[in-house]
Amino acid sequence: MKRVRIGVIGCGAISADYRLPALREIAEVDIAAVVDADLDRARRTAEQFVVDDYYNDHRKLFGHVDAALVATPNSTHCPISCDLMAHGIHVLCEKPMAVTTDECSRMIKVRDEAGVKFMVGHTMRFYEILEQAKHFIGLGALGKIRRLEVQCGGVFGWPTRSGFYFDKSRAGGGVIIDLGCHLFDLSRWLLGEELSIVSVQAEDKMNRGVEDEASICAVSKSGTEIVLGLSRNRSLGNDLRVEGEKGSLSCNIYGKGLSISATGLRLCGQVGKVIIQQPRGGSPYFHEMSHFVSCLLNGALPMTSAESSSVAVDLVQECYHRLGLQDGA
C-alpha cells in the first residue's frame, strides 16, 4: 500500500479537535510530525496523537514529509504554503486560502513551478447534507433557481488558542473573511456559477476591531439572488434555503435532514415534500482529508482547488473594498 507522510502545522483547535483525529483514520497516512510556534504545545500535541517528531519551525519538515496541513493564522497561509510547495511538499491549507488576491496569485505560481498539489479546506463541500442539496439542484428538481439564502453564525465560542480571529493583522478581517469565504465558495459550488457582489453591510458590535456582523447580497451569472447573513455575536440558525421556479429545499447546514418540496417531485404519485436522511458515517474532515490523500495517490485534481478558492478571496476583498476597508475590517 502506498503511504503518505504528512506534517501538521498549527496545533490549535482545528488540528487537535478535527484534523488530526481524521488523519488517524486514513489507512494510507503516516502523521510524521506536528509543528507549532509554541514548542511546548507541539510537544503536547505530539504526545496526545502519538507522533514521533515535533518542531516550532515548519522548515524542519523539508525533506521529511510528502504533504502538509497548514492550519495557522490567515496571514501566514501564503508564506508557509509557498515555502512548503517550493520544497516539493503538497499542501492542504485551511481557508481562507490567503488574505489578498496577490497572495493567491503567488501561491498558484509557486504551485505550478513546483509541480505539487494544493488544496484549500473549504470543508462545507464535504458536508453530506450540502452534497445532497447540490445533487437535487443539479438534477433540476427545483427548476431555475431564483434565490439562495444562507444564515450562518452564533455567539463566538471557538476554542482558539492564539486568538488571531480578532487580530486584524493576522486574520485579515472579521466575520466576512472567516465565514464569508466559506459561504461564497458554498454558493458558487451549489449553483455552479460565478457571483457578483451587489451590496454589503457590516458592524463591529462587540467593539473588538473587526466586523462581527455582516449582510451580503450578491447575484449569480444567471440572475439568482444570493443573500448571506453572518454573525459572531448572535445565532442566525445556520440554515440554507434554495428557492426555484418549481420548488424549494432547506436544511440546517450542520444537520442531517434535507427538506424538499417541488411540483415535479412525487413518491407513489402522492407526496410532493420529502425529508431525506442518509448519514454515511465519518466526519466531513475525514472525507475532506481522504479526498486530499486520494488526489496525491491517484493524480486527481483537488475539488477545492487554488483557482476556485482564490475566487472566494476575491469576493471577500470586494466586500471590504465596498466597505472602505480594502485590507480588512
* Domain range summary for the chain, segments of one domain joined by +: 4-123+285-303, 124-282+312-322
Which CATH code is given to the segment(s) 124-282+312-322? Answer: 3.30.360.10
What confidence tier does 255 reach under pLDDT thresholds 50, 70, 90? confident
237: DSSP letter? -
Residue 267, pLDDT above cutoff 60: no
Residue 92, pLDDT above cutoff 70: yes
What percentage of residues in the chain have a pLDDT greater than 70?
Answer: 93
pTM: 0.93
Strands across the sheet containing 53-55: 53-55, 29-35, 4-9, 67-70, 90-94, 118-121
Cβ contact 23:85 at 8 Å: no
Q: Which residue has the higher pLDDT, 35 or 157?
A: 35
Please give the pLDDT value at position 328: 46
Integer distance in angstroms from the first to the last C-alpha of the chain?
48
Cell of 223: 440572475
> How far lies 148's CA from each of 7, 115, 130, 173, 238, in Å?
38, 37, 13, 25, 13
Please give the pLDDT value at position 162: 72
Residue 178, pLDDT above cutoff 90: yes
Please give the pLDDT value at position 222: 96
Q: Do domains 4-123+285-303 and 124-282+312-322 have the same CATH topology?
A: no
Name the 3-class secondary structure at 32. Answer: strand
Cell of 84: 512548503
Taking domain 4-123+285-303, whether its CATH number is 3.40.50.300 is answered by no
Name the 3-class secondary structure at 283. Answer: coil
Cell of 28: 494510507
